[in-house]
């Protein structure tokens, strides 16, 4: 029951471009992020012992990639997906490929949300932050909506 209420609140917050449970810099980064906003601005507060990881969203030659494409993290860690080159990118998780309970964690932990399990498109210099607080162990495959057909897919692994 709590999860249902929390999810509903997140949907409402997401609809106005807000950021759940956070007053630390993410607010207002909805559809029109400031062009010159430094990537670091999106770094959220983190729990003790948590690690901040970065995944760059890149056009490398003719290949659209997440780098690193494979990353293993711990529950509680934060992953910052940074728009580096190649225009607009986003981060979308496959709902049917996630461990049980992961969707709720991602919906609570993702900034810059467009839809459940999907971020907005972000430009170079902008970022999507995902907190994995309480994330169940397992594989978290994801993709970039504009570039999925071009092979821009990757995977996180949460391992306690
Ligand atoms: Cu992309």
Distance CA 57, CA 39 (A): 12
- pTM across the whole model: 0.73
Distance CA 110, CA 128 (A): 7
User: Per-10-residue mean pLDDT for the chain, 160 residues long?
Assistant: 42 41 43 48 68 98 98 97 97 96 96 95 97 97 98 97
- Tell me, what's the pLDDT at 43? 56
- Cα 1 off chain centre by: 25
- Tell me, what's the pLDDT at 103? 97
Q: What would the two tokens of residue 105 be?
A: 């964690």
- Tell me, what's the pLDDT at 49? 84
Domain boundaries, the chain: 2-22+43-158
The angle, 0 to 180 degrees and rounded to 10, between the axes of the packed helices 102-109 and 2-15 is: 40
- Tell me, what's the pLDDT at 17? 41
Q: What's the gap in Å between 69 CA and the centre of ligand 1?
A: 13
Distance CA 54, CA 71 (A): 10
Q: What is the CATH number of domain 2-22+43-158?
A: 2.60.40.420
Q: What's the gap in Å between 123 CA and the centre of ligand 1?
A: 10
- Pairing between β-strand 70-73 and β-strand 113-115 as defined by DSSP bridges: unpaired
Q: What's the gap in Å between 48 CA and the centre of ligand 1?
A: 32
Q: What's the gap in Å between 83 CA and the centre of ligand 1?
A: 9
């Amino acid at each position: 029951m709590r999860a249902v209420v929390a999810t509903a609140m997140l949907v409402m917050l997401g609809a106005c471009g807000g950021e759940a449970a956070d007053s630390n810099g993410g607010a207002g980064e909805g559809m029109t992020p400031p062009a010159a906003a430094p990537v670091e601005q999106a770094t959220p507060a983190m729990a003790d012992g948590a690690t901040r990881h970065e995944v760059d969203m890149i056009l490398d030659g003719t290949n659209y990639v997440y780098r690193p494409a494979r990353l293993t993290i711990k529950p509680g860690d934060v992953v910052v997906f940074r728009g580096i080159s190649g225009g607009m990118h986003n981060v979308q998780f496959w709902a049917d490929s996630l461990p049980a309970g992961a969707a709720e964690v991602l919906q609570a932990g993702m900034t810059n949300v467009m839809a459940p399990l999907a971020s907005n498109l972000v430009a170079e210099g902008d970022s999507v932050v995902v907190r994995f607080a309480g994330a169940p162990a397992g594989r978290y495959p994801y993709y970039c909506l504009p570039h999925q057909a071009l092979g821009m897919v990757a995977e996180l692994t949460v391992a306690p």
